[in-house]
C-alpha cells in the first residue's frame, strides 16, 4: 500500500497518467486517451518516478514496458484511484446529486416561462442529472407524486386537503385574463367586467382533470346573477386555444399563456382584478433528493427589470 507521506506529495493526476500509460503501453496513445498533450504526460510520469526514487517504465522508441517496481505500483495506483472514485460516488449519492434522473410533472400553459429557465440552469449546474418531463393534469401529478413516479410537479397551488403529505413552494403569480379571438366584441374594451362576462359561452379545462380551475371559476362568479356558461371542456391548452380562436367562446386563463398564443388571441384584463393564479412546485414532504431543491430553486421566477416593466398608461388590452 502507498505510504501516506508519498501520497501527500503526489496528486491523483499523477496516478491517472501512469495507469493510462501502463495500460496503453504507449505515451502518445495515453495522451490521446487523457485528451492532453503528450509532453505533459511524459513530464508527469518522470516527476512521479523522481518522487518514488525508482524507474516505473522501460522506454524505447515505439513503446514502454513496466519495470518490476512499475508492476507493483500499478496495482497500488489502481486501488487508490478506485477508492477515490468510490468516495466521490458516495458523497454525490449522500447529497442526492449522483448521476440519475429527475422526474418532473408540469402543466404546459402554466410553466411556459418557468420551465425553460429551470432546465437551462439545471443543465449548466448539474449536467449529470437527466430531467425527464411529464405533461400531466393536476390530478395526475398529485397521484404520481404519491406513488413515487414523480419527484416534483409544477402546477397551480392545490387546495390544502390535496397537499396532505406534500409541500408547496410558490414560484410565480399570474393575473387572470379573458382570452378572446381577435375579432371578438370584448377586444374593443380596455378591460372586461364581470357584467360583460355574464351569460357568455366559456371554454374551459375538463373538470375531471382540473378541479381547481372550476373551483376558481365558481369563486370568481359567486353571487353573479348570470355567470358565464361552460360550453366546452378541453384536456389540453392547445385544444382550448384552438376552440377560442375558432369563436366557440372565450376562456379565462393566466397571463403567462400569452407567450403560447402568439397573435391568435388577445388577453384582456378583468375589472375588478381577481386573485392571481399562484403557480408553484409540489413535492413529497420527505424527500432525500437534493436535486429536487436544486430544480425548484432554478424554477423561481425572477422579477422583471425596471426598464421592462409596462407603463401604467399602457393600453390594458395585451396584443400578443
- Distance (Å, whole) CA 187 – CA 318: 10
Q: Which of 238, 284, 274, 277 is nearest to 255 (CA)?
A: 277
Q: Provide the pLDDT for residue 208.
A: 85
- Whether 103 has a pLDDT exceeding 60, the answer reads yes
- Distance (Å, whole) CA 277 – CA 268: 15
- Distance (Å, whole) CA 276 – CA 177: 10
Helix (H, G, I), strand (E, B) or coil at 103: strand
Residues 46 and 133 in one domain: no
Q: Provide the pLDDT for residue 44.
A: 87
CB–CB of 225/231 below 8 Å?
A: no
Model confidence at 84, in pLDDT bands (50, 70, 90)?
A: confident
- Whether 48 has a pLDDT exceeding 60, the answer reads yes
Maximal C-alpha separation, the chain: 96
- Whether 130 has a pLDDT exceeding 50, the answer reads yes
Residues 81 and 146 in one domain: no
Residues 257 and 216 in one domain: yes
CB–CB of 56/45 below 8 Å?
A: yes
Residues 170 and 257 in one domain: yes
- Distance (Å, whole) CA 282 – CA 130: 19
- Distance (Å, whole) CA 139 – CA 142: 5
Q: Provide the pLDDT for residue 59.
A: 87
- Whether 201 has a pLDDT exceeding 80, the answer reads yes
Q: Provide the pLDDT for residue 289.
A: 73
CA angle at residue 78 from 77 to 81, to 5 degrees? 85
Helix (H, G, I), strand (E, B) or coil at 57: strand
Residues 90 and 131 in one domain: no
Q: Which of 233, 284, 257 is nearest to 107 (CA)?
A: 257
Helix, strand, coil distribution of the chain in percent, nearest 5: 45, 25, 35
Where a domain ends, among 95, 115, 149?
95
Averaged pLDDT for residues 277-306:
80
Residues of the chain above pLDDT 70, percent: 86
Residues 67 and 104 in one domain: no
Separation in Å, CA 70 to CA 13, 53, 183:
16, 12, 82
Q: Which residues contact 112 (CB under 8 A, 6 or more apart)?
A: 256, 257, 259, 260
CATH code of 280's domain = 3.40.190.290
What the block records as the C-alpha cell of 93 is 449519492
Instruction: Provide the pairing of β-strand 166-174 with 277-284.
Output: antiparallel
Q: Which of 307, 313, 295, 310 is nearest to 102 (CA)?
A: 295
DSSP-derived secondary structure for 293-315: HHHHHHHPPPPPPGGGSPPTTS-
Residues 154 and 255 in one domain: yes
Q: Which of 159, 163, 192, 158 is nearest to 178 (CA)?
A: 192
Residues 171 and 91 in one domain: no
Where a domain ends, among 95, 125, 146?
95
Peptide bond between residue 237 and the one before it cis (omega within 30 degrees of 0): no
205 - beta bridge partners?
234
Instruction: Provide the pairing of β-strand 152-156 with 318-319.
Output: unpaired
Residues of the chain above pLDDT 90, percent: 44
Residues 27 and 110 in one domain: no
Model confidence at 317, in pLDDT bands (50, 70, 90)?
A: very low
- Distance (Å, whole) CA 179 – CA 265: 6
318 - beta bridge partners?
267
Give the domain range for residue 18: 4-95
- What is the number of structural domains in the chain? 2
Residues 90 and 152 in one domain: no
Where a domain ends, among 71, 95, 119?
95
- Whether 89 has a pLDDT exceeding 70, the answer reads no
Residues 218 and 248 in one domain: yes
Model confidence at 95, in pLDDT bands (50, 70, 90)?
A: low
Residues 78 and 107 in one domain: no
Amino acid at each position: 500500500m502507498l505510504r501516506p507521506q508519498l501520497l501527500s506529495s503526489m496528486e491523483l493526476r499523477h496516478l491517472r497518467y501512469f495507469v493510462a500509460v501502463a495500460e496503453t503501453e504507449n505515451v502518445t496513445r495515453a495522451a490521446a486517451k487523457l485528451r492532453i498533450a503528450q509532453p505533459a504526460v511524459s513530464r508527469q510520469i518522470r516527476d512521479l518516478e523522481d518522487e518514488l526514487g525508482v524507474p516505473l517504465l522501460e522506454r524505447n522508441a515505439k513503446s514502454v514496458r513496466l519495470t518490476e517496481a512499475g508492476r507493483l505500483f500499478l496495482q497500488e495506483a489502481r486501488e487508490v484511484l478506485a477508492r477515490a472514485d468510490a468516495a466521490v460516488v458516495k458523497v454525490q449519492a449522500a447529497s442526492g446529486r449522483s448521476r440519475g434522473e429527475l422526474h418532473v410533472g408540469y402543466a404546459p400553459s402554466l410553466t411556459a416561462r418557468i420551465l425553460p429557465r429551470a432546465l437551462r440552469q439545471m443543465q449548466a449546474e448539474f449536467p449529470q442529472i437527466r430531467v425527464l418531463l411529464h405533461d400531466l393534469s393536476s390530478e395526475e401529478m398529485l397521484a404520481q407524486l404519491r406513488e413515487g413516479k414523480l419527484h416534483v410537479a409544477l402546477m397551480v397551488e392545490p387546495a390544502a386537503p390535496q397537499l396532505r403529505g406534500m409541500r408547496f413552494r410558490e414560484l410565480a403569480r399570474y393575473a387572470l385574463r379573458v382570452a378572446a379571438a381577435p375579432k371578438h366584441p370584448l377586444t374593443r374594451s380596455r378591460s372586461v367586467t364581470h357584467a360583460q362576462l355574464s351569460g357568455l359561452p366559456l371554454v374551459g379545462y375538463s373538470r375531471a382533470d382540473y378541479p381547481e380551475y372550476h373551483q376558481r371559476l365558481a369563486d370568481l362568479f359567486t353571487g353573479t346573477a348570470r355567470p358565464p356558461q361552460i360550453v366546452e371542456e378541453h384536456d389540453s391548452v392547445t385544444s382550448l386555444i384552438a376552440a377560442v380562436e375558432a369563436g366557440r367562446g372565450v376562456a379565462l386563463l393566466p397571463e403567462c399563456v400569452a407567450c403560447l398564443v402568439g397573435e391568435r388571441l388577445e388577453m384582456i384584463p378583468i375589472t375588478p382584478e381577481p386573485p392571481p393564479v399562484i403557480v408553484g412546485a409540489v413535492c413529497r414532504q420527505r424527500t432525500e433528493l437534493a436535486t429536487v431543491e436544486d430544480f425548484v430553486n432554478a424554477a423561481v421566477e425572477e422579477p422583471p427589470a425596471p426598464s421592462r416593466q409596462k407603463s401604467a398608461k399602457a393600453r390594458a388590452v395585451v396584443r400578443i
